[in-house]
Amino acid sequence: KNQVRNTLDATLNLQSFDSQLVERHNKPEVELKTSKELLLTPIVIPKSETEGVLIEPSVNSLRISIKIKQSDEIEKILTKKFTRFLCQRAEQFKILRRKPIEGYDISFLITNTNTEQMFKHKIIDFIISFLDDIDKEINDMKLAVNARARSTAENFLKNF
């Protein structure tokens, strides 16, 4: 967790950088990957074998991809539904990317405009709390499904 925070702190110094290829355009370089010198090295911070965070920084934008722990089928479908839900509201979230990167469950794209509009430390706080909350939420929902199944089975069977 602290590693993620430190990395974000270091890499979130974004500044506006006009595109070198097309005049008058300002694009997030991490998405386009047009010029090698503008990109910094991507960093992978694994929490375990199945979970991890990928951070790809560049001069004016930062991409964070998260892989959430999904140990059984029900966690898989819950994660899928939840991330789809969030991505549909990407417009409201501003920093959320509509499609996750290959191999990951959800991705955030933070550009220099975002850092100019929002406090940097608050963005980092949000990402960190997001990592915690999403794991907790998936667990809670799985427990709720199991509890529901148990009570419906009990109610049915006790009538015999």
Q: Which residues make up the interface to other proteins (CB under 8 A)?
A: 73-74, 76-78, 81-82, 85-86, 89, 92-95, 117-119, 122-123, 125-126, 129-130, 133, 137, 140-141, 144-146, 148-160
Give the whole-angstrom CA distance, residue 21 versus residue 25: 8
DSSP-based three-state secondary structure for 55: strand
Give the whole-angstrom CA distance, residue 121 versus residue 9: 8
Residue 110 · residue 62 · CB < 8 Å: yes
The two structure tokens encoding residue 153: 């089975």
Nearer to other proteins, 32 or 82 (CB): 82
CB of 51 to other proteins, least distance (A): 19
Nearer to other proteins, 18 or 125 (CB): 125
Nearer to other proteins, 9 or 140 (CB): 140
